[in-house]
Amino acid sequence: MTKLLEQAIATVRQLPEGEQDIAARFLLGFANPDARHFQLTDEQMAEVELAKKDVREGRFATDTEIESVWRKFDR
């Protein structure tokens, strides 16, 4: 397991159980070989590439920004 995955799992463990389940379903779906049947649009791929660039350049959302997003979805 990579250090980044270990860090992500440690962070998810601190979330409430319902949010842990959401993260688990996402990860299981990502790892599911059948998921390869789904294709991203060109626009979605461009968004992924922008996100990867942000990560490479060390740009991440702050905890406050993340909390603001969760509040929008009543989490």
Domain ranges for the chain: 1-38, 39-75
pLDDT at 3 over 90: yes
Read off the pTM.
0.46
Residue 75: both structure tokens together: 């989490």
Confidence (pLDDT) at 32: 81
What mean pLDDT value characterizes the chain? 87
Q: pLDDT tens for residues 37-68?
A: 677 788 988 998 998 898 889 888 888 988 88
Distance between CA atoms of residues 45 and 52, nearest Å: 10
pLDDT at 75 over 70: no
Considering Cα of 63, then 65, then 66, then 68, what sign does the dihedral take?
positive
